[in-house]
Amino acid sequence: MRDSSLPRERPPQPSFGEAFRYWLKLGFISFGGPAGQIAVMHQELVEKRRWISERRFLHALNYCMLLPGPEAQQLAIYLGWLLHRTWGGLVAGTLFVLPSLFLLAALSWVYMAFGDVPLVKGVFAGIKPAVVAVVVFAAWRIGARALKNRLLWAIAAASFVAIFAFAVPFPWIVLAAGVIGFVGGRLRPELFRVGGHGTADQDYGPALIDDDTPRAPHTRFRPGYLARLLVVALALWGGLLFALDSPVLRDMGEFFTKAALLTFGGAYAVLPYVYQGGVEHYQWLSGSQMIDGLALGETTPGPLIMVVAFVGFVGAWGKAIFGPDALLLAGLAGACVATFFTFLPSFVFILAGAPLVESTHGDLKFTAPLTGITAAVVGVILNLARFFGWHVLWPQADTAAPFSGPFEWFAALVSVAAFVALWKYKQDIMKVIAACALLGLARAALSL
């Protein structure tokens, strides 16, 4: 029986301007990682405004989970597209990341220009061990959700050994895990049937886009629209890549396009690949700087994969692509290039695939490969935590002498305390990082 206190009328269609203001607001308040960002959208769009029903919301979300890329940003594109066609999706997805790009560019400038100031160094000395705890916590959280049986545990263990002991490139691990999931989904489907994002069991009143709402014309598959979309996307990608005069920026465009196609399992999954390329192959930044960038990414709104903007900024600044007198301009160019090429595929995936989403929802042949990939991601993230911890606890060590130099007891204690705060006391990540930053600042101030 329907609750008599619930609204009885469907809400009116929001204007494009009203939706624009909401997506802009969301870009500034989307803290807390994908879970927090999705919760914010659910509370506002499903519960409060009732622009979309809970079932349709979860339907869209489960589709986004199948794709490489940041699922929260892709969900925003999907919902914007449902409400206001292609332009609605473009605006929603762009505003989801634009505030984060500006904030990260500003923080990256402070980091590069003033990073050697003792008090600033002290802040990062407190943040780095917190990042180690955050990554370990991410591995635990994803593992608790994804590793439901011994086979999935074995996939996670094998991926850890592959990347740690044999330095297998991340794309090959993703491919192998996807193949195992595809084959396993056919042979032993019960081992790969992992639940999605829940069921719609709450009623908030009739929604604008409700369970029984007929599909709008723009949500139906149209071959001509798909062809035009792909042509425009390829033209944007190829045209900008061709227009980049700097070899560094061109390398960034190619590299972050590949990274965008490998972000199954969230930002933590692709960080090892970004590390392999940005630190080891192209040498745009150091391992220590990568840890600092992850910390900055955790403290700004938007998807965590926005750390690529920091990588692009630091890489272009460090390479002085426009000369020593234009370092800020170089950094901004690097951040923009990294962001554009990372997020362009997300728009294509949603705008091209959303009209077909009804036929793929809940189909095991689509979800089983993702289950295998997610299990492998747990092992990859654990290796990332090992790498970050090694850099933080033995900062003077190298591969030839992995435990040389003094052990950083302060960093170890901060890291343990941060993990306990996240795991046992369920503290917000931003609060934990801020507290650790204050500890580092206090220690630096006392040593002056």
| pLDDT higher than threshold 60 for residue 319 | yes
Provide the pLDDT for residue 246. 94
Greater confidence, 48 or 315?
A: 315
Is the residue at 260 inside a domain?
yes
Most distant CA atoms of the chain, gap in Å: 71
| Cα distance between residue 304 and residue 114, in whole Å | 24
Is the residue at 145 inside a domain?
yes
Is the residue at 220 inside a domain?
no
Provide the pLDDT for residue 377. 77
Domain count, the chain: 1
H/E element holding 242? helix 223-243
| pLDDT higher than threshold 60 for residue 224 | yes
How buried is residue 93: exposed, middle or buried, by Cβ count under 10 Å (0-12/13-18/19+)?
buried
| Cα distance between residue 207 and residue 173, in whole Å | 42
Provide the pLDDT for residue 387. 79
* pTM, 2 dp: 0.80
How high is the mean pLDDT of the chain?
86
Residues 146, 374 contacting (CB under 8 angstroms): yes
| Cα distance between residue 231 and residue 224, in whole Å | 11
List beta partners, residue 182.
Answer: none
Is the residue at 47 inside a domain?
no
What are the backbone angles phi and psi of residue 352, rounded to the nearest 5°?
-85, -40
Greater confidence, 429 or 235?
A: 235
H helical segments located in 244-281: 247-260, 267-275
Q: Which domain holds residue 314?
A: 100-195+240-447
Is the residue at 18 inside a domain?
no
Within 10 angstroms of residue 407's Cβ, the number of other Cβ atoms is 11
Provide the pLDDT for residue 100. 93
Within 10 angstroms of residue 50's Cβ, the number of other Cβ atoms is 21
Percentage of residues of the chain with pLDDT beyond 90: 45
Provide the pLDDT for residue 203. 67
DSSP letter (8 states) at residue 4: T
Percentage of residues of the chain with pLDDT beyond 70: 91
The stretch 381-397 carries a mean pLDDT of 84
Q: Give tens-digit pLDDT for 183-193.
A: 998 898 888 87
- Confidence band, pLDDT 50/70/90 cuts, at residue 109: very high
How buried is residue 435: exposed, middle or buried, by Cβ count under 10 Å (0-12/13-18/19+)?
middle
Instruction: Give me the residue label for tokens 């199954």.
Output: 264
SS3 (DSSP) at 134 = helix
Provide the pLDDT for residue 131. 80
Is the residue at 33 inside a domain?
no
Is the residue at 338 inside a domain?
yes
The stretch 11-20 carries a mean pLDDT of 94
| Cα distance between residue 302 and residue 40, in whole Å | 12
Q: Give tens-digit pLDDT for 268-287.
A: 667 778 888 999 899 999 98
Provide the pLDDT for residue 50. 92
Is the residue at 258 inside a domain?
yes
Greater confidence, 213 or 286?
A: 286
